[in-house]
A and B are shown apart, each in its own frame.
Chain A
Amino acid sequence: DTEVTQTPKHLVMGMTNKKSLKCEQHMGHRAMYWYKQKAKKPPELMFVYSYEKLSINESVPSRFSPECPNSSLLNLHLHALQPEDSALYLCASSPQRGGQVVYGYTFGSGTRLTVV
């Protein structure tokens, strides 16, 4: 299995809703990432998990809450989002060696989120 699987593929939510995005990989990768991508822009790093511990939080608002329950799963909990949070949310994973990421990331297909 060489894939990163993200669910759901599409999500529409209201500003008062609570929802979660899910990401799963079975490649044994110990680093997992959340990125946000707006239309016609490059992906922007949100969070990095290394060995199931949060290692980087790029000053993301608290309405986004990541969780890494085990080495294969990564969740992104959403609460009280704003319309400007509408974007493609991408999950990625990569192998690590000696604490350093090796050879790039494998990306999922993303969840296209619309906040109404």
Chain B
Amino acid sequence: GNSVTQMEGPVTLSEEAFLTINCTYTATGYPSLFWYVQYPGEGLQLLLKATKADDKGSNKGFEATYRKETTSFHLEKGSVQVSDSAVYFCALQAGTALIFGKGTTLSVSS
């Protein structure tokens, strides 16, 4: 079946530190992959996406590359800000369903 595994949090960083949140997936076929972000008290916002192998999604300084050989879609940012504190969900889409990982809480301090 289809599933998403992402690293357990919380992840605690200082401002301007480098961020990596690992995400791996299991799927039949070639799903589209996404990162969503949820700020406290809000709904989910699409952060970036990739629809085929070797695609790189990017937005607001965040990047993730669709790696078919390692079935991974790790989220990275070179220099985090306090405003990046949120919960990050990796997700895959196969057919109609969007399947989420468990989420990773990021806390950035100044």
Residues of A within 8 A of B (CB): 6, 31, 33, 40-43, 45, 48, 50, 55-56, 88, 90, 92, 100-101, 103-110
Contact = CB atoms under 8 A, between A and B. Distances in A.
B43 A108 contact: yes
B95 A100 contact: yes
A105 B97 CA distance: 10
B93 interface: yes
Contact of B49 (A41, A103, A109): A103
The 4 closest A-B pairs by CB, nearest first: A42-B100, A109-B43, A107-B44, A107-B43
Contacts of B102: 41-42
B46 to A, nearest CB: 6
B69 interface: no
B9 to A, nearest CB: 10
Contacts of B58: none
Given A48-B96, A103-B32, 15 more contacts: A33-B98, A40-B105, A42-B102, A42-B103, A48-B97, A50-B96, A90-B44, A92-B44, A101-B93, A101-B96, A103-B49, A104-B49, A104-B91, A104-B93, A107-B36
B81 to A, nearest CB: 22
Q: Is the interface of B mostly helix, strand, loop or mixed?
A: strand
A42 B43 contact: no
Interface in B77-110: 89, 91, 93, 95-98, 100-103, 105
A101 B51 CA distance: 12
A55 B51 CA distance: 24
Nearest to B91: A104
A16 to B, nearest CB: 28
B103 A45 contact: no
Contacts of B44: 43, 90, 92, 107
15 contacts: A42-B100, A43-B89, A45-B98, A90-B44, A92-B44, A92-B98, A100-B95, A103-B32, A103-B51, A104-B46, A104-B93, A105-B46, A106-B46, A109-B42, A110-B43
